[in-house]
Amino acid sequence: MNGIKSLFHFLINTNIFVAFCVSSLTLSSELLFHSSKYQISLFVFFATILTYNFQRIVRIKKGIKHERKEWTLNNLPLVYILIVMGTLGSLYHFFQFNTNTQILIFISGIISILYPLGLRKIPFCKIFIITLTWTISSMLLLISEYNIAINPNIIFHLSSRFLFVFAITIPFDIRDIKYDNIKLKTIPIIFGILKSKIISFISLFLVIIISIFQFWNNKLSIEFLIAIILSCAVSSIFISKSDEKKSGFFFSFWIESLSILLYLFLAISISIF
C-alpha cells in the first residue's frame, strides 16, 4: 500500500499525473468526435509535462509559495529532465500538425509561458486562463487538426468542455486560498468557499443542460449523455467535499482524477450500450 501511495505521489510531484488528466480530456474529445488518431492526445501529454514543470520552476525561483516547493528543490535534475522530455515529445508531434493547429499551440504556449511570469496575478483572470488553455488543449486543437467545421453543435461541445473544466478547477482555488494573495481576486476569495462550490454546481448543471439539448437534437448519443450526467454527478460530490483543510493529495489526485473519470465513463458507455 505504501508503495502504491509513493508511486502516486511521484506521478503528482512530477506532473505526469496531471498530464494524464489533460490527455484523458483530449481522449474524451476523440470519443465525442468519433476519432482515433491520438496525435493530439500524445502532444498534449508531453506539452503538459513541459509547461507544468516549467511553471513550477519559474514560480519557485520567483519565491512564490508552492506546496511542492521542497520536493522540487530536492529533485531539480529530474524536473529538468522532464522539461527536456516534454520539449522533445511536443516538438516531435508539433511539426506533424497543420498550420492552424500550430498557430493555436503557439498562442496557448505563449499564455502558458506568461502565466507564471505575471499573467496569473491579473485580478479575476487566474481560473479563466487555466480553463481556456485546458479547453484549447483538450478539444479545440483536435477540432483544428481534423478540420472539423465550426457549427452550433461544436460550439456547444466547446462551451460544455469550458464549463466542466471551470467547475473542477474552482476546488484548486479553494485549496490555494492560503497561498494566493487577496489581490488575485479568485472566486473563493471574492465569494467565499460555499458560494464558490455553488458556482461549480451551476457550471456542471449547465453542462448537463447543454448535453440534454444536444441529445434532443440528435447530436449526442444516449450513452454519452448518461456518461456526462454521471461524470457531473460524481464531480459534484467531490467538489462538495473540497475545503482549504483537505490534504494536497485530495486535490492533486481525487479532484484532478475527475478529468480521467469523464473519459472512463464515456469509454465504458460505448462498451455497455
Q: Is the CB of residue 123 less than 8 Å from the CB of residue 185?
A: yes
> What does the mean pLDDT of the chain come to?
91
DSSP designation for 122:
S
The pTM score is 0.94
Cell numbers at 246, concatenated: 483537505
Res 63: pLDDT? 63
Collapsed DSSP state (helix, strand, coil) of residue 24: helix
The predicted-structure confidence for 45-80, as pLDDT tens digits, reads as follows 999 999 999 988 987 876 665 667 788 888 999 999
Q: Judge whether residue 199 has pLDDT over 80.
A: yes
| Range 119-128 average pLDDT | 81
Q: Is the dihedral of CA 272, 213, 132, 89 positive or negative?
A: positive
The proportion of the chain whose per-residue pLDDT surpasses 90, expressed as a percent, equals 70
Question: In this structure, what are the phi and psi dihedrals at residue 188, rounded to the nearest 5 degrees?
Answer: -65, -35
Domains annotated on the chain, with CATH: 2-272 (1.10.600)
Q: How far is CA 9 from CA 149, 169, 200, 206, 257, in A?
A: 41, 20, 27, 33, 14
Rounded to whole angstroms, how far apart are CA atoms 51 and 55? 6
Can you tell me the distance from the alpha carbon of 225 to that of 156, in angstroms, rounded to the nearest whole number? Answer: 13
Residue 259 reports pLDDT greater than 70: yes
Which segments of 176-257 does DSSP mark as H helices, in order?
A: 187-191, 193-216, 222-240, 248-249
